[in-house]
Structure 1
Amino acid sequence: MDKYAEKMLRSLENPVQTGEYPDLKNNADLAMFLKQSVEKGILYTNVQDGKIVYFTAENYSQMHQNTAYELMYVLDGTVIKQIEDKKYTLHTGEGYILNRRITHSDDVQDGFLLVLDFSEEFFREVTRSIDIREDTHPVFSFIEKCGQDSSGWRKSYLEFSPTVPLPNEQFRTVLDSLQQELATKKIGASFLQKGLFLRLVELLENKKMFNVNAIDIHSGKEDFLVERLTSYIVRKYGNVSRRDVEKDLHYNDEYLNRLLKKACGKTISRYAAEIRLDRARQLLSTTSLTIGEITNLLEFSSENYFYHFFKKAEGISPSRYRAEHHD
């Protein structure tokens, strides 16, 4: 990395070496970072305090921690995310919320990544008047509990993915609006930033838009594997086989099948079929997509197979279901 790019990164992230990995301290309570793969490397963009700074440099993928919370969202393509000693591949529309104790890195080889850093003080201020309960506000509640952990050793994070394989225009619009308000010094910008941040988190809590899963790194091996397995099936919209599971999670499929059945009483095939059916119901009831388009989105082999799959589970045809349940 050339000296100018290194200087720019250091000025934006203020790395402080307090342990094995650097702590990145942002200059603002709310800041947006964008990393986009381009021909000459990575286009870095920082938006905060009424300013936009951008430059091109090599891919910075050093393991680090943050002094702020971090919401990361893949705008396009794929991103390799390392969290502690595990690596995950994220696709468009997927992301994480990490607490400050998680050691992580981002490897953007062919993608476009957005990172939103927000301080604990900022979060407390904007949620002061909100009645945060886990049953009604699970994402707000997760962040609040991270701030209340005085022991300082708990490592947990939220992962989220689209409920259905469609672009989320509403979420992207809020992100775009937040970027515009972070880039301006106009009167009222700070108030709009707070409102847009709250709206963003509220959208993450919308079950018709996102699947959200809390991961505790300190959970036992079996619990952690069940979390990884169910998350994998959900992110694939139920279109998985036991062979897929074994290949991608690197564990014997029979072993994972036993763990899932022990945890929730369902086999991998049964759990996947229920997720696939739920996504089909949602697309039928909330969109105007044709049956053929839904068949393709959920990767059924044919409309005929989708028809029989759906009718066997629901007792009525997809068209009849849509007529009775469409919003």
Structure 2
Amino acid sequence: MTKDPFSSLHSANEEIPQIATHSPIVLFFKQKIGGTVLYTKVQDGEILSFEDEEYKALHKNQNFELMYVLNGELTNLIEDKEYLFHAGEGCLLNTQILHREILSEGCNVVFLNLSPAVIAELLDNDSGNGPIFQFLEQNLQSDGQWKRSYIEFSPTLPYQSENFHIILDSLQLEIATSKIGKTYFQKGLILRLLDALENLNQFSLQQIDLDLSKEDYLVNRILHLIDSRFGNISRKEIEAVLHYNAEYLNRLLKRQTKMTIAHYAQTVRTKKAQQLLTSTDLSVQRIAEQLNFSNEAYFYHYFKKQTGLSPNQYRQKFTF
């Protein structure tokens, strides 16, 4: 981003750019519009934006980076692998992970950059002890032995978390203000944001090890694709994303889990239907729509075949 007045690129190795911000807490927004990207930066009481070509170099960040897709989808090239993220999904990277994003048309994504010093301060205060906080603490205490891993997250149910968006919007307002006490509000909201990611009713988390064997990596990706699509994904769609033959992927999954792609997808789809029936007051018709069943009648027969109960019977029996 040669015109970017917000960040500087520098590295001892000219082949590996490093993006540096000049504040401990910064929000970036990127939106793909036509052939260009609208960049917006919220930092130190200011909101600045400009349009430019998409930044295409693999790079590292001086700060920890939390990425969250607001709309559309993007491909994140992380080290030597490709990961597809849809709206409501995202990841948390440490400062040593090489990456770059390729946005689809209309994609809108936000990045929260946090300095190691801010992370250390948050961990010393009222932080949790779940996988997000453990990941941050491990990377702070690594003494240079950074793990080639990151955290990936996706919605637990087929809609984005309203609570997460409220916290994110509040954080943006606090970073954009110059009012007294802003630093305390910002850090409190960051803790709440990270805590929301650890809420199993809102997000599913997975730590991705970039040094997995080829087979383990592919099985990991298959499981994630099925989970993040709530079981509504075909073998051909998985084949298209992972660029491997569907039958080969099916054999890998069955060898490690004893389940075929179709069986695992069926299990996930049923589980999500059960969660929606017992944790929400959505109508059966609306649940069928959320899980992309062709109609309510098909969902009814599908669910009864899997559980032995109709959707309404299941809701009455297991809702407390």
Instruction: Verify: 1:321 aligned to 2:314, yes or no.
Output: yes
- Aligned twin of 1:50: 45
Q: Deviations over 1:114-152 (max 9, x none)?
A: 00000111111012135754xxx1111112112222243
Cα distance change of structure 1 residues 156 and 321 upon mapping to structure 2, 3 Å threshold: same
**Alpha-carbon separation, structure 1, partners of 2:289 and 2:56:** 36
Give the C-alpha shift of residue 94 in structure 1.
1.0
Instruction: Verify: 1:105 aligned to 2:100, yes or no.
Output: yes
Instruction: Verify: 1:13 aligned to 2:7, yes or no.
Output: yes
- Whether the 8 Å CA contact 1:154–1:218 is kept in 2: the answer is no
- Three-state SS of the structure 1 residue aligned to 2:57 is coil
- Aligned twin of 1:29: 24
- Three-state SS of the structure 1 residue aligned to 2:237 is helix
Give the C-alpha shift of residue 256 in structure 1.
2.3
1:150 to 143, 158, 163: 143
1:233 to 226, 239, 244: 226
Cα distance change of structure 1 residues 286 and 50 upon mapping to structure 2, 3 Å threshold: same
Q: Deviations over 1:183-234 (max 9, x none)?
A: 1111111111111101111111111111111111112222111111111111
Give the C-alpha shift of residue 109 in structure 1.
3.7
Instruction: Verify: 1:128 aligned to 2:124, yes or no.
Output: yes
- Aligned twin of 2:115: 119
- Whether the 8 Å CA contact 1:40–1:56 is kept in 2: the answer is no
Give the letter aligned to residue 215 of structure 2: E
- Judge which range, 59-68 or 111-120, deviates more: 59-68
- Whether the 8 Å CA contact 1:158–1:214 is kept in 2: the answer is yes
Instruction: Verify: 1:304 aligned to 2:304, yes or no.
Output: no
Give the C-alpha shift of residue 257 in structure 1.
2.6
Aligned residues: 318
> TM-score by structure 2 length?
0.93
**Alpha-carbon separation, structure 1, partners of 2:233 and 2:35:** 37
Q: Equivalences for 1:269-288 in 2 at 5 Å?
A: 269-288=262-281
1:262 to 233, 255, 265: 255
- Three-state SS of the structure 1 residue aligned to 2:6 is helix
Give the C-alpha shift of residue 322 in structure 1.
1.9
Give the C-alpha shift of residue 175 in structure 1.
0.4
**Alpha-carbon separation, structure 1, partners of 2:285 and 2:127:** 43
Cα distance change of structure 1 residues 174 and 154 upon mapping to structure 2, 3 Å threshold: same
Q: Equivalences for 1:53-202 in 2 at 5 Å?
A: 53-110=48-105, 111-130=107-126, 133=129, 137-202=130-195
Cα distance change of structure 1 residues 263 and 131 upon mapping to structure 2, 3 Å threshold: farther
Give the letter aligned to residue 138 of structure 1: P
- Aligned twin of 2:196: 203
**Alpha-carbon separation, structure 2, partners of 1:60 and 1:268:** 36
- Whether the 8 Å CA contact 2:63–2:115 is kept in 1: the answer is yes
- Three-state SS of the structure 2 residue aligned to 1:100 is coil
**Alpha-carbon separation, structure 1, partners of 2:306 and 2:282:** 21
- Three-state SS of the structure 2 residue aligned to 1:81 is strand
> TM-score by structure 1 length?
0.91
